[in-house]
Structure 1
Amino acid sequence: MSEIPFARFIVIPSFSKEYAFSIEKKNEEYFVVSITPSESYWRAKNKKNVKFESKKLKIDKKFYSKISHLFQLLAKQTKSYDNEIYSTDGETYYFITADNNGKTKTGKIWTPTNNSLMGNLIKISNNLFSIGNGNYISVSEINSEIDKLVIELEK
């Protein structure tokens, strides 16, 4: 993965292994890079033995730009809280991006309800991870879901 994330999504489940994707640009080509560890990194006895498998899918500039817009919108709306709620069950989702000044911004969501705005964001992000991992999911369907979510987030 690149040093400064353009857009990155990391999932840390309570009882299964983590997974992530990164949206990257290299030499005017655009990619979804999906990363899966060989075992749960968080629970590994020897973290040095954990191997990471990366798969990538080339995407077009329009799709890259749409994902960019979504993550930049998230970066603008990310808030800091003095008192964070921690829990041991569920899934924690991290969204990482760089703002226009190159400063990294991180948002965190813990187990949102499925049909909430953040639940829809998780669905889109899981679909992006899946296509990067070689699974077939309609890019036009993901585009449509991003459009709907952006409209709601911009209200």
Structure 2
Amino acid sequence: MTRLTALVSATALFATVAAAETIAPQDVNYADGAVETSLTGQPGDPQAGAELMNKGAGNCIACHAVSDLSHLQFHGEIGPPLDGVADRWSEAELRGIVANAKQMFEGTMMPAFYKVDGFTRLGDAYTGEAHEGDVEPLLTGQQIEDVVAYLMTLKYE
């Protein structure tokens, strides 16, 4: 039982440390639209990022075509195709674009996935969860890192 208690305590400590390292949306530092520093201090999971491309608040393929995800239906044509995106943009630039594309592309239609104020959303379905009056971003910092990790796999061969 002592080992279990130690394991639970260690897990809680690591989770607290990881959470403490997450940069809040209002504290993200954009340099010419790019975000050099990981939002969480943790590497992204490309597989989880690929899943976000078609689900929930991510749903990138609603606007972008991605050949790697051709098995999924209803790819959009509003945004540019994402094939070879890792050849066109650095990891920091992709992180900035996913977090808040308006920092790099003024007037873009792409939503800010890691922003909580200073904008008008179309309705509750496009607003993150509210907790005690605070609005959460559409994607968490780790979800942004996951999407960026996936995007970094999209290179021309």
- TM range, normalised to the smaller chain? under 0.3
Question: Which of the pair has the greater relative contact order for Cα pairs under 8 Å at 6+ separation?
Answer: 2
Higher helix share: 2
Higher strand share: 1
